[in-house]
Amino acid sequence: MDQPEDFQSGAEFRAATARELLQRALENLSQEHLKRFRHKLRDAPQDGRSIPWGRLQGADALNLVEELIQFYGPEPALDVTRKTLKRADIRDVAEQLKEDRLKRLGPSSSSLLSVSEYKKKYREHVLQQHAKVKERNARSVKINKRFTKLLIAREGAASVDGALGPADERETQRARRSDTHTFNRLFGRDGEGQRPLTVLLQGPAGIGKTMAAKKILYDWAAGKLYHGQVDFAFFLPCRELLERPGTCSLAGLILDQCPGRSAPVRLLLARAERLLFILDGADELPPPAPADAAPCTDPFEEAEGARVLSGLMGKTLLPGARLLVTARATAPGRLQSRLCSPQCAEVCGFSDKDKKKYFHKFFREEWLAEQAYRSVKENETLFALCFVPFVCWIVCTVLRQQLDLGQDLSRTSKTTTSVYLFFVASFLSSAPAADGPQVQGELRKLCRLAREGLLGHRAQFAEKDLERLQLRGSKIQRLFLSKKELPGVLETEVTYQFMDQSFQEFFAALSYLLDDKGDRAPADSVGALLRGNAELHGHLALTTRFLFGLLNTERMRDVERHFGCVVSERVKQDVLRWVQDQGHQRAAPEGTQETEAPEGREELEEDEDELNYVLELLYCLYETQEGAFVSQALRGLPELALERVCLSRMDVVVLSYCIRCCPEGQALRLVSCGLAPAHEKKKKKNLMKRLHGSLGGSSSRATMKKTQASPLRSLFEAMTDQHCGLSSLTLCRCKLSDSVCRDLSEALRAAPALTELGLLQNGLSEAGLRVLSEGLAWPQCRVRKLRVQQPTLQEALHYLIGALSQSSALTSLDLSDCQLPEPVVTYLCRVLQQSGCRLQTLR
């Protein structure tokens, strides 16, 4: 343990003095008093803990001193001894010990309070410190008023084995609203009765992970969470700790959060199972290098912040403590491998009902809130984006300005990038015309600051950084940077950071357009950014997505108009070339098997990152909202494969757009994909409604179920677009519901380019197979090659075989792994002899 010499000498002096006082007090006791003292020490545990009787029985005065110091620590042992002497009615010795301690060590400080006494004081401190949170505009509001409930789904609630069917068919898979009950369930027992010690809370940028973590801390302090399980909870912002100069210890980090930096730290750490550490933003931790030092195991060891955090996450440091870890869901496999048996949960954002509640919280006037909400809801895409709380805040902020001016945001914003750009542009437009050039210049410097920080893994900036770029005290600094004052050794340290991390990432992306110079250093170019983020995950993922979004031709014109500069097309061409090169480098070898899953944890993590790459690239392309660009980019990716992915509603929107724009010859393969929960659990109908439903008869219920759209309808509709070049679709182990089969059947009748269809082990029902066969038999269906693996429902295959005599396009049929019963084989032979059958190849 590396501690300052003066600290060590002071601590050693106090420990030696405490030992001397204990020896003097206990050595003066008679044998009768010593016996009584031992029994009282056993019968009155301190904070629920007491020295085992086997170590007390028969111990003399010197042995008792050693046991007391070893178990409680030197100075806390003095308090325990004095209280035990009073309970044993040896009051004269207790008073003498109190006087001697006062003379030699001074009055007992709050750090020497017992854990039970300190617990109340610390909870009150947390309530006071976290009662208010700062809005993005630096306005402080009460956390209970600011916090809007989010949807949170525990792992297993969004199983990739779930059917690709309507979300309301799978009640057990739904996300739950983030109330006290849901927060308590995060550390609830699993199916085997075990409680997790680590919970990983994941979600995209701006979804509300930090706010949820702070609300958990606040509710714990208010006595609403983990009652009787957690005595102390500590909030550790990972990014700040990683950027903190010098070394730190876990004990020191705990003291930093305690009033007056005083707490019975040793007693707290001795009961690690009663501690909760909230690690916010753990995805910021750099990957461990092979040459890294051994993991941190001592809470008093001074080490780099990354080592301390890694020790907590890997359970080499306080293995019994509880951890709540928040992280962006960029590369979940890599982070989960650093955690010890984590229970994973996903923050799914606002439900539609919660979006409306947020609008009413933001706009105080009822009529204004309704007007703003309706204007956004008319734009389906923009309304969908508002599931992210931070995007919702930006939309509301700009709407408040635009509604005052009689303008409408919903007509101009379809992507996250456009929402952010509109937000920044609205502030530029509000500046006086005379200040325009100066504000534009300051904004370009802010973008440069954002890029420098991002590439250097920095989120906090010193005053000298702002002075270097002449930003200190500027209007742009006041708008987009928040000031933070930290107590330093000699004076208060002032730092600045962007109002939200996502704004730093947006401005960093914008810098590549505003500062596109041919003489830029190679390490500072767009190519360097993309090469550094080749896997499309990590701290550059959102910046890359923003960069794609800014390449839209219309948005590039907006940038030129609002920021007073010329944007070169060269950046766009560089990005397009990179995407196409990536596709060639990742081309899958022929003969890849859909049915084999990788074995081994490392292979799974690598495979998850690869699959995450495909979906993230689609998000990047979606941000461009430029069909020609998407079509050109996808020429380098002839097959899009999504495996073991829980598709959210936004994922389906993104996938549908890219398929609508895809070039001729494009292939799409979905393997073991399911739908992530997107809706909260519906309330039970009251008795009258249920009676009315039952009186309506089974036919009305059947009609409702029949007309219900599947969550993949937008994807299948995209396949029917006349510009869609999708020629091959494979669905493997996706458990297709009847509604999905119906919508796919409709698409088969009109898809202009689809010539190959694979349906492999999808658990089709007889009704689903029948409706798909109807689509394949449709005269306009262009499917020539059909592959089916359906081990069950052998008798129902006659529907599929019947389509052979009606299809004018189907020439190849593969029924591998389909065990055909004799009547079906007889029917197949009869159909093959019919003149209308065009089949040339049968497997």
Kindly tell me if the per-residue pLDDT of 719 is higher than 90: yes
Kindly tell me if the per-residue pLDDT of 640 is higher than 80: yes
pLDDT reported for residue 532: 67
Query: In which band, very low, low, confident or very high, does the pLDDT at 836 lie, cut at 50, 70 and 90?
Result: confident
Kindly tell me if the per-residue pLDDT of 687 is higher than 50: no
Q: Could you give the 3-state DSSP secondary structure of residue 392?
A: helix
pLDDT reported for residue 830: 85
Q: Measured in whole angstroms, how far is the alpha carbon of residue 584 from the centre of its chain?
A: 31
The residue assigned the tokens 């854990």 is: 115
The residue assigned the tokens 């909202």 is: 625
Task: Kindly report which listed range (176-180, 257-261, 722-726) carries the lowest average pLDDT score.
Answer: 176-180
pLDDT reported for residue 195: 83
The distance in angstroms from the start CA to the end CA of the chain is 71
Kindly tell me if the per-residue pLDDT of 489 is higher than 60: no
Is the distance from CB of 494 to CB of 460 less than 8 angstroms? no
Give the closest residue to 841 by CA, choosing from 804, 790, 789, 793: 804
pLDDT reported for residue 479: 84
Please provide residue 203's backbone torsions phi and psi, each rounded to the nearest 5 degrees.
170, 165
pLDDT reported for residue 679: 44
Neighbours of 836 (CB within 10 A): 10
Domain segments of the chain as ranges: 9-105, 122-155+175-350, 352-414, 430-567, 624-676+710-842
Residues of the chain with pLDDT > 70: what percent? 80
Kindly tell me if the per-residue pLDDT of 276 is higher than 90: yes
Q: Quick one: average pLDDT of 98-116?
A: 69
pLDDT reported for residue 704: 38
Question: How does 141-179 read in b/e, with b if 16+ C-beta sit within 10 Å?
Answer: eebeebbbbbbbbbbebbbbebbbbbbeebeebbbbbbe
Kindly tell me if the per-residue pLDDT of 592 is higher than 50: no
pLDDT reported for residue 804: 80
- Cα separation, 566 vs 786, in Å, equals 52
Distances (CA, A) of 741 to 113, 212, 219, 734: 67, 38, 46, 11
Q: Could you give the 3-state DSSP secondary structure of residue 586?
A: coil
- Cα separation, 247 vs 249, in Å, equals 7
Task: Kindly report which listed range (90-104, 150-164, 709-723) carries the lowest average pLDDT score.
Answer: 150-164
Is the distance from CB of 783 to CB of 774 less than 8 angstroms? no
Is the distance from CB of 454 to CB of 543 less than 8 angstroms? yes
Q: What is the 3-state secondary structure (H, E, C) of 260-308?
A: HHCCCHHHHHHCHHHEEEEEECHHHCCCCCCCCCCCCCCCCCCECHHHH
Highest mean pLDDT among 1-5, 176-180, 597-601: 176-180
More confident residue, 384 or 217: 217
pLDDT reported for residue 177: 67
Kindly report the average pLDDT of the chain as a whole number: 81
Second-level CATH architecture of 122-155+175-350: 3-Layer(aba) Sandwich (3.40)
pLDDT reported for residue 469: 92
Kindly tell me if the per-residue pLDDT of 606 is higher than 50: no
Kindly tell me if the per-residue pLDDT of 109 is higher than 80: no
Beta strands across the sheet bearing 841-842: 639-643, 666-671, 726-732, 756-760, 785-789, 812-814, 841-842
Q: Could you give the 3-state DSSP secondary structure of residue 81?
A: helix
Kindly tell me if the per-residue pLDDT of 171 is higher than 50: no
Query: In which band, very low, low, confident or very high, does the pLDDT at 336 lie, cut at 50, 70 and 90?
Result: confident
Give the DSSP per-residue string, 740-765. HHHHHHHHHTT-SS--EEEEES----
pLDDT reported for residue 114: 66
pLDDT reported for residue 410: 58
Highest mean pLDDT among 358-362, 406-410, 632-636, 674-678: 632-636
Query: In which band, very low, low, confident or very high, does the pLDDT at 312 lie, cut at 50, 70 and 90?
Result: very high
Kindly tell me if the per-residue pLDDT of 207 is higher than 90: no
- Cα separation, 175 vs 230, in Å, equals 25
- Cα separation, 668 vs 642, in Å, equals 8
Bridge partners (DSSP) listed for residue 201: 326, 345
Two structure tokens written together for 224 = 């609403």
Longest dimension (CA), the chain: 114
Q: Could you give the 3-state DSSP secondary structure of residue 710?
A: coil
Two structure tokens written together for 842 = 């049968």
Q: Quick one: average pLDDT of 731-742?
A: 90
Rg of the chain (C-alpha set): 32
More confident residue, 715 or 48: 715
Distances (CA, A) of 10 to 17, 261, 490, 687: 11, 17, 22, 73
Q: Quick one: average pLDDT of 76-90?
A: 89
The residue assigned the tokens 């950084």 is: 465
pLDDT reported for residue 160: 41
- Cα separation, 198 vs 196, in Å, equals 5
Task: Kindly report which listed range (105-114, 162-171, 604-613) carries the lowest average pLDDT score.
Answer: 162-171
Helices (H), 598-723: 601-624, 627-634, 649-661, 687-695, 697-707, 713-719
More confident residue, 58 or 488: 58
pLDDT reported for residue 630: 97
Kindly tell me if the per-residue pLDDT of 497 is higher than 60: yes
Give the closest residue to 744 by CA, choosing from 777, 778, 719, 708: 719
- Cα separation, 760 vs 814, in Å, equals 11
pLDDT reported for residue 220: 95
Q: Tell me: the pLDDT tens digits for 375-401?
A: 888 877 778 888 888 888 888 888 887
Question: How does 468-503 read in b/e, with b if 16+ C-beta sit within 10 Å?
Answer: ebebeebebbebbbbeeeeeeeeeeeebbbbbbbbb
- Cα separation, 478 vs 352, in Å, equals 33
Helices (H), 130-172: 143-146
Q: Measured in whole angstroms, how far is the alpha carbon of residue 479 from the centre of its chain?
A: 27
Distances (CA, A) of 776 to 238, 332, 801, 810, 827: 55, 39, 10, 8, 18
- Angle at the Cα of 616 from the Cα atoms of 611 and 621, rounded to 5 degrees: 130
Query: In which band, very low, low, confident or very high, does the pLDDT at 107 lie, cut at 50, 70 and 90?
Result: low
Kindly tell me if the per-residue pLDDT of 647 is higher than 70: yes
Instruction: Indicate the CATH number for domain 9-105.
Output: 1.10.533.10
- Strand pairing class (726-732; 674-675): unpaired
Query: In which band, very low, low, confident or very high, does the pLDDT at 50 lie, cut at 50, 70 and 90?
Result: confident
pLDDT reported for residue 5: 43
- Predicted TM-score (pTM) of the model is 0.70
Q: Could you give the 3-state DSSP secondary structure of residue 413?
A: coil
Q: Quick one: average pLDDT of 180-195?
A: 81
Highest mean pLDDT among 479-483, 525-529, 572-576, 609-613: 572-576
More confident residue, 771 or 837: 771
pLDDT reported for residue 517: 56
- Strand pairing class (343-349; 232-237): unpaired
Q: Quick one: average pLDDT of 31-46?
A: 85
- Give every CB contact of residue 523 below 8 A, 6+ residues apart in sequence: none
pLDDT reported for residue 331: 57
More confident residue, 313 or 184: 313
CATH superfamily, domain 624-676+710-842, is Ribonuclease Inhibitor (3.80.10.10)
Two structure tokens written together for 667 = 């292939």
- Cα separation, 376 vs 411, in Å, equals 9
Is the distance from CB of 284 to CB of 238 less than 8 angstroms? yes
Query: In which band, very low, low, confident or very high, does the pLDDT at 494 lie, cut at 50, 70 and 90?
Result: confident
Is the distance from CB of 441 to CB of 486 less than 8 angstroms? no
- Strand pairing class (726-732; 666-671): parallel
Q: Quick one: average pLDDT of 251-266?
A: 85
Query: In which band, very low, low, confident or very high, does the pLDDT at 600 lie, cut at 50, 70 and 90?
Result: very low
Two structure tokens written together for 579 = 């995407």
SS3 content of the chain, % helix, strand, coil (to 5): 55, 10, 35
Query: In which band, very low, low, confident or very high, does the pLDDT at 45 lie, cut at 50, 70 and 90?
Result: low
More confident residue, 535 or 437: 437
- Give every CB contact of residue 202 below 8 A, 6+ residues apart in sequence: 209, 326, 327, 328, 329, 332, 344, 345, 346, 347
Q: Could you give the 3-state DSSP secondary structure of residue 164?
A: strand
Two structure tokens written together for 70 = 């070893």
Q: Tell me: the pLDDT tens digits for 113-158?
A: 567 778 888 999 999 998 887 765 556 778 877 777 888 887 654 4
More confident residue, 394 or 179: 394
Kindly tell me if the per-residue pLDDT of 167 is higher than 80: no
Q: Quick one: average pLDDT of 318-334?
A: 83
Looking at beta carbons, which pairs linking 706-710 to residues 24 or more positions away fall under 8 Å? 706/742, 708/166, 708/739, 709/166, 709/739, 709/743, 710/164, 710/165, 710/166, 710/737, 710/739, 710/740, 710/742, 710/743
Q: Which amino acid is at 489?
A: V
Kindly tell me if the per-residue pLDDT of 539 is higher than 80: no
Kindly tell me if the per-residue pLDDT of 603 is higher than 50: no
pLDDT reported for residue 652: 92
Q: Quick one: average pLDDT of 744-758?
A: 95
Task: Kindly report which listed range (188-192, 608-612, 716-720) carries the lowest average pLDDT score.
Answer: 608-612
Q: Quick one: average pLDDT of 213-225?
A: 93
Kindly tell me if the per-residue pLDDT of 314 is higher than 70: yes
- Cα separation, 281 vs 210, in Å, equals 8
Neighbours of 432 (CB within 10 A): 7
Kindly tell me if the per-residue pLDDT of 366 is higher than 80: yes
Give the closest residue to 420 by CA, choosing from 362, 506, 540: 506
Beta strands across the sheet bearing 493-498: 461-462, 493-498, 481-486
Two structure tokens written together for 611 = 């699959």
pLDDT reported for residue 383: 86
